[in-house]
Amino acid sequence: MQLPLSYFFAEVYLITIIILNALVERKSSSSALLFILLVGVMAALSITAEKKLLIASLTFISLMQVFYSLLNYSSTRIFLFLLLATVFFYIIKAFRFKYGDSLLKNILYVGVLHVILCFFETFTHYNPFISLLGIEAFNGDSTSSYRATGITAHPITGSVFSISIAIIALGFYNQSRNKRYLLLSTLSLVTTVLMQTRSVYVVMMCTLLILLAIKKHKKVSEIRIRIFPVLLFIFLAVIFFSISVSPNSYLYSMTFGRFSTLLDSGSFLQRSGSISFLLQYLSKKMSLATFLGNGFGSLAHYLNVNNIYFVSKDFFTVDNQYVTAFFEIGILGYMLFLILLSLILIPGFKTMHMSDISIVRMIGTPQAMCIALLFSVFFFECYDKPVVLCMLMLALAFCSSFREKYDMR
């Protein structure tokens, strides 16, 4: 299928940003981000039928930036990333109705590159792509063996992309029954193990349980009947794996070995510290900033100025996008976010609930992708990571038009 020039330009734009995610995230200046944003705005305006909504959304976020800058503090870099996420949404939504397959398949090609790099990196401890970009990736600490990153610069970002690819590929498999998509979906899930991201296992289990709860049941008791075997299977599989795999093996260190050090790890202390910080913040006297927020990127700035850290000195982050967003956009901003999210997700959930769609087909839907990604950002901040923003906007854009089809197409 030959794309019109405007769609071809927009598709190349999105794919390029996904591939060069690590470069944009780690090395792009505010000036470079502004240039990338302007190119994206041109691409979006050339294909979207919702030009007024796009301009209104960009204007609203810009007014928020002005307000926060006058009130307290607001990061220009984070502001530009939020505008970029908005552009992603409208570009992808335009593709959804006309050339969705073209965009998704090209994203899957990037996913193939990501999978290949992860496997190569696991065995060689070398990532030629990241080295070519001149970026220093995070490949683990003293509590883990070598962690692959693929096309990204961090295992968590890489694992989120892997989950997204697995769901998209499964959606194509459900539609076409082409086993190549099933193979890619399986290999993408395997790469999450290679990246040794503990939170991913929690994300996948919670996503599955929520989908089981959404699925139509004749009686409320059927929810327990359907969920119990899944939990039992997971429990027995974990027991079997722990017995059959040697504690000294590489496979054990990538899985159970990571969880065995969880309570003493900086990762756990970082996340528990973020919840503690939020509770202390809410316990203070309410102010205007509590309701309206302190500004984009203001939490990292606040932690830095007040020398507040939870594990490592000079690591001023809470590693939780929800805590960060609550501090930065306030109670009213949070409520607005939840309302918009509900308007996008609930119609699709109702459609799935009223249908006879199987759980396998449910996993290959944009709703499942949204659930997985929204759970994922409980464990890190995502708004400065283009590939995560793009995958989340992809899921939301497809959800917003989800009616009778149950796959990513």
Measured CA to CA, the distance from residue 304 to residue 57 in angstroms comes to: 30
Is the model's pLDDT at 234 over the cut of 60?
no
Look up residue 74 and give its DSSP letter: -
Quick one: tokens of 312? 């490592």
The percentage of the chain sitting over the pLDDT mark of 90, rounded to a whole number, equals: 39
Measured CA to CA, the distance from residue 108 to residue 320 in angstroms comes to: 28
Predicted TM-score of the model (pTM) = 0.84
User: What local confidence, expressed as pLDDT, does residue 236 receive?
Assistant: 57
Is the model's pLDDT at 272 over the cut of 50?
yes
Mean pLDDT of all residues in the chain?
Answer: 82
Asked if residue 259 lies in contact with residue 144, where contact means CB atoms within 8 angstroms, the answer is no
Measured CA to CA, the distance from residue 88 to residue 54 in angstroms comes to: 10
Is the model's pLDDT at 408 over the cut of 70?
no
User: What local confidence, expressed as pLDDT, does residue 221 receive?
Assistant: 44
User: What local confidence, expressed as pLDDT, does residue 242 receive?
Assistant: 52
**Strand, helix or coil for residue 104:** helix
User: What local confidence, expressed as pLDDT, does residue 222 receive?
Assistant: 47
Is the model's pLDDT at 375 over the cut of 80?
yes
Measured CA to CA, the distance from residue 52 to residue 56 in angstroms comes to: 6
| Higher-pLDDT residue of 245, 370 | 370
- Specify the amino acid at residue 79: F
Is the model's pLDDT at 394 over the cut of 50?
yes
Q: What angle do CA 107, 109, 111 make, to 5 degrees?
A: 75
Interacting residues of 184 by C-beta distance below 8 A, sequence separation 6+: 108, 111, 112, 115, 165, 166, 169
Measured CA to CA, the distance from residue 300 to residue 306 in angstroms comes to: 10
Quick one: tokens of 153? 């610069």
- Whole-number Cα distances in Å, 83 to 54, 62, 123, 232: 10, 8, 39, 44
User: What local confidence, expressed as pLDDT, does residue 357 receive?
Assistant: 74
Look up residue 309 and give its DSSP letter: -
Q: What is the dihedral of CA 293, 295, 299, 304, to 10 degrees?
A: -140
Is the model's pLDDT at 200 over the cut of 50?
yes
Quick one: tokens of 85? 């996420």
| Higher-pLDDT residue of 231, 333 | 333
pLDDT tens digits for 95-122? 987 788 889 999 999 999 999 999 999 8
User: What local confidence, expressed as pLDDT, does residue 199 receive?
Assistant: 80
- Of 79-88, 119-128, 210-219, 268-277, where does the model show the most confidence? 79-88
User: What local confidence, expressed as pLDDT, does residue 106 receive?
Assistant: 94
Lowest-confidence range among 69-73, 131-135, 337-341? 69-73
Is the model's pLDDT at 89 over the cut of 60?
yes
The percentage of the chain sitting over the pLDDT mark of 70, rounded to a whole number, equals: 81
Quick one: tokens of 359? 């759980």
What string of DSSP letters covers 117-146? HHHHHHHHS--HHHHHHT-------TTSS-
Section 92-96 average pLDDT: 90
- Whole-number Cα distances in Å, 256 to 122, 139, 209, 265, 347: 18, 18, 22, 14, 38
User: What local confidence, expressed as pLDDT, does residue 252 receive?
Assistant: 47
Measured CA to CA, the distance from residue 165 to residue 104 in angstroms comes to: 9
User: What local confidence, expressed as pLDDT, does residue 348 receive?
Assistant: 79
Asked if residue 408 lies in contact with residue 364, where contact means CB atoms within 8 angstroms, the answer is yes
pLDDT band at 409 (very low <50, low <70, confident <90, very high): very low
User: What local confidence, expressed as pLDDT, does residue 361 receive?
Assistant: 82
Look up residue 71 and give its DSSP letter: H
Is the model's pLDDT at 346 over the cut of 90?
no
Is the model's pLDDT at 24 over the cut of 80?
yes
Measured CA to CA, the distance from residue 294 to residue 74 in angstroms comes to: 8
| Higher-pLDDT residue of 27, 240 | 27
| Higher-pLDDT residue of 274, 137 | 137
